[in-house]
Amino acid sequence: MSFLQDARRVERRPVAKQGDEQLKSFASGRSSYERPMIGIIPAALPFPPLASLLVRSVDLGRFAIG
């Protein structure tokens, strides 16, 4: 029976981690500061180096947080 209890504990851990990540992303307000960046990128489109730099920074920010 102890083996079954260990298996149940292992099953619960990923669910708890997913919930924690969702809470962190919600608490940090990820969508609230991504919206202004979306507004900046079209303004930077006439300048390709600047636009590509902004897109990279947004991607890196998402990777670091998510």
- Convert the pLDDT of each residue in 2-58 to its tens digit: 555 555 555 554 444 555 555 555 555 555 445 555 555 555 556 566 656 666 666
Is the confidence at residue 59, as pLDDT, over 60?
A: yes
Q: What is the pLDDT of residue 45?
A: 57
Dist CA 28 CA 64 (whole Å):
13
The span from the first CA to the last CA of the chain, in angstroms, equals 37
Q: Give pLDDT, residue 16.
A: 47
Enumerate residues 6+ apart whose C-beta is below 8 A from 28: 65
Please tell me the distance from the alpha carbon of residue 62 to that of residue 66, in angstroms, as a whole number. Answer: 6
More confident residue, 59 or 41: 59
Residue 24 confidence (pLDDT)? 57
Rg, the chain, Cα only: 19
